[in-house]
Structure 1
Amino acid sequence: MLTLIAITTIILYLFVIGMLIYGFDNVTDFKLQDLPAKTKFSIVIPFRNEAQNLSKLLDSIVKLNYPQHLFEVILINDASEDDSVSIIENYLLTLSKRQNVKHIDLKIIENRSTTSSPKKEAITSAIKVSKFNWIVTTDADCVLPTYWLDTFDEFIQINNPNCMVAPVTYHSKTSFFNRFQSLDFLSLQGATMGGFGIKKPFMCNGANFAYRKSEFISVNGFIGNDTIASGDDVFLLEKFLKRNPKKVSYLKSNNAIVTTNAAQNMNHLIQQRLRWASKTSQLTQWFAKIIGLTVLLGNFTTLVFIPAVLMQYISLKIALALFVIKFSIDFLLLFKTVRFFKQENLLLSYLFSSVIYPAFSVYIAFLSFFKSYHWKGRTSKK
């Protein structure tokens, strides 16, 4: 009986990940065509206690190739307890004294949170005072690529979307802990692209997300999920998809890749993954829930192979065969994803990561049912 369940689960897993691989290949790489810039953007960046990251973010904003009169930057201070604000102010003051450096239309506003979802409030506050119709969100620990806005602009000119999801990856580091996280994160990026490729988008990342302000207003912004601390990206994506799915696109371009920080230690990683898991039960898309459940079952099945073999509930040959099937299909999706992100060196850690990942994944899923999470000095519930 256990053998039949294991075989059925892995076959279902193979089918689901195979669909995402097919979808990944269906999303066309977008190439810049050197069109004259037209679109005006409001870049929205909430921050809380990001003193150590803000300088790199601001450096990358200064280096953006896009015409300065076509974008503004709104930084929202979400009750920072460090010197984040003074770092920004000092940076701008120093910048103003340097010659041959372009002026940045940048302002800092304060977020006065009154709900359990301060980040959504921060974004909403910024959108209310934004000057332009296109909103682009990112995070304060990110580094933006030089042609980031150019790529958004040309995609808008050619495809006329209402919403764009774009790629994110971690800054490359040499430790196994970082490579493990990067492989996990890139698997999510690959699945995100795959969902778009089969016309079933179900994920996005607020570190690289763009939409029309008019659409945000039309779907009533975050109203309806503003009591949930996380999910400022996926819940909004769901609303855009319900309103007009044909106007929601994935921007698959190396010129649009935003890089961000991996977790610094194991506790930070667990809290981060709990934060991500906290919004899963609130998703309304059946496809997203099927994907999540299938992946969880696939990892759980892999995890029980060893005790099942030892207790002779399943033969060693069948267990190894099923593990190789899961290992191979996961590798194929990851291979395509790391090749797009030009991070092929991460695959050197894939074998060991694939052995320990099922235990980590199942642990986080189990923990998320019972435990709240801590993030940036706050405790939040699901």
Structure 2
Amino acid sequence: MLQILLYVFIGIIAIQLFYYLIVFGKFAFAKAQKITPKRIPISVIVCAKNEEENVKKFIPLLAEQNYSDYEIVLIDDASSDETLEIFEAFQRKYSNIKLVKVKNNEAFWGNKKFALTLGIKAASKEYLLFTDADCYPTSKDWILNMSAQFTMHKTIVLGYGAYEKIKGSFLNKIIRFETMLTATQYFSWAKMGKPYMGVGRNLAYKREEFFRVNGFIDHMNVRSGDDDLFINQAAKARNTTVCYTPDSFTVSEPKQNWKDWFKQKRRHVSTAKLYKGFDKFQLTLYYFSQLSFLLLAILLLAFQFQWMIVGGLVIFRYLSAWITLGYAAGKLKEKDVIYWFPVIEIILIFTQLNVFLTNLVSKPVHWK
């Protein structure tokens, strides 16, 4: 039996190396990205619900971008706080701000996709750039960098949405590592011609892509997924590219306790079951290989069965993963989290298992 498990373990190692060296290597070992600025008219779209504190801080950063032809479409999704009043004040201050007021609708109560649809229809520019109300760009050249990736054929741009660093917080390292790993996955698969998701914190596409797939209509009943489900449906090898220049990043405040982070994880994971068949398969295979690697390594080493071979394979796998993710983390300015890779990986493996089991018995809470 142990001999059979060793063969299975070798197969799992081969799967892991395929992901880390071949798939993730597509992004990790890619050359630094250079941009050729384009003056494409851009509509920056921000949807907010009860975000008065965040919009006070971050909307001025959007209004001060070094870009000549853009508007900001602010969508107030029936907020019960002062968000709408703050938006109205910004509209009076900045001439390029357009305000969309969403009233509660019985058919789409609390549905962010309905609010976003109204904002997209109200936008006057053909190229749309999205971020969240709790996000801010890392530079005044955010629009310039993201828009530079558009071409005649590349009409969807996947960007990176980072989280703020909190000194002394191990949870913060876990969150940022997972965010870096997720970005490495969707950037890499996009480079391989198999784009499957993006994040609404930093995402751009031409408006025709939205209407080509009838917007969010196929998953309007699913509260989350205005970013990943839309990209999973609309993105193809021919129309999708990525942007990972440091000036193209956005940043948002991370969760600061385990309970809130776990709830957020549940929301994010709940949409993956609606991905295309191949995308669900590759994500499941990657997670299965991670879990199997860990369990089989512990079992075989516990019995000291062919321990030199097993130990060598474990070391080789960790070195390969560490190097690949180290290069990816360097591109995404997250190098400090990579030192904790072995520990964080184990925590994430069992957190994901917990999220999956919890989502089986209860539905996660979505848009405010």
TM bin, normalised by shorter chain, reads 0.7 to 0.9
Question: % of aligned pairs identical?
Answer: 20
> Could you say which residue in structure 1 is the equivalent of 2:50?
49
| Alignment counterpart, residue 113 of structure 2, candidates 101, 120, 123 | 120
> Could you say which residue in structure 1 is the equivalent of 2:257?
265
- Where in structure 2 are the equivalents of 1:86-97 lying within 5 Å? 86-90=85-89, 96=93
Deviation at 1:139, TM superposition (A): 0.6
Is the Cα–Cα contact under 8 Å of residues 109 and 126 in structure 1 kept in the other structure?
A: no
> Could you say which residue in structure 2 is the equivalent of 1:79?
78
Is the Cα–Cα contact under 8 Å of residues 2 and 313 in structure 1 kept in the other structure?
A: no
| Alignment counterpart, residue 205 of structure 1, candidates 199, 214, 217 | 199
Look up the SS of the partner of 2:235 in the other structure: helix
Look up the SS of the partner of 2:136 in the other structure: coil
Residues 128-186 of structure 1 deviation map (CA, whole Å, 9 limit, x = unaligned):
11111111111111112311111233333x56522111122111222111011101110
Question: Structure 2 CA distance, aligned partners of 1:115 and 1:329?
Answer: 47
| Alignment counterpart, residue 226 of structure 2, candidates 213, 224, 232 | 232
Look up the SS of the partner of 2:99 in the other structure: strand
Deviation at 1:297, TM superposition (A): 1.0
> Could you say which residue in structure 1 is the equivalent of 2:341?
350
Is the Cα–Cα contact under 8 Å of residues 223 and 367 in structure 2 kept in the other structure?
A: no
Residues 289-335 of structure 1 deviation map (CA, whole Å, 9 limit, x = unaligned):
23211222123224434763587496655654454344333323321
Q: Does the alignment pair 1:185 with 2:179?
A: yes
| Alignment counterpart, residue 296 of structure 1, candidates 267, 276, 287 | 287
Q: Which residue identity does 1:112 align to in structure 2? A: N
**For residues 110 and 221 of structure 1, do their structure 2 counterparts lie closer, same or farther at Cα, with a shift above 3 Å needed?**
same
Residues 222-264 of structure 1 deviation map (CA, whole Å, 9 limit, x = unaligned):
121112121112222233235xx31211123222111122222
Is the Cα–Cα contact under 8 Å of residues 76 and 102 in structure 2 kept in the other structure?
A: yes
Q: Could you list the runs of 5+ residues in structure 1 that have no partner in the other structure? A: 97-101, 378-382
Number of equivalenced pairs: 362
Q: Does the alignment pair 1:8 with 2:2?
A: no
Question: Structure 2 CA distance, aligned partners of 1:360 and 1:229?
Answer: 23
Q: Does the alignment pair 1:256 with 2:248?
A: yes
**For residues 319 and 122 of structure 1, do their structure 2 counterparts lie closer, same or farther at Cα, with a shift above 3 Å needed?**
farther
Look up the SS of the partner of 2:72 in the other structure: strand
Question: Structure 2 CA distance, aligned partners of 1:207 and 1:128?
Answer: 20
| Alignment counterpart, residue 30 of structure 1, candidates 33, 36, 49 | 33
**For residues 143 and 235 of structure 1, do their structure 2 counterparts lie closer, same or farther at Cα, with a shift above 3 Å needed?**
same
RMSD between aligned residues: 2.7
Is the Cα–Cα contact under 8 Å of residues 301 and 311 in structure 2 kept in the other structure?
A: no
> Could you say which residue in structure 2 is the equivalent of 1:214?
208
Normalised by the length of structure 1, the TM-score is 0.85
Look up the SS of the partner of 1:53 in the other structure: helix
Normalised by the length of structure 2, the TM-score is 0.88
Question: Structure 1 CA distance, aligned partners of 2:80 and 2:287?
Answer: 37
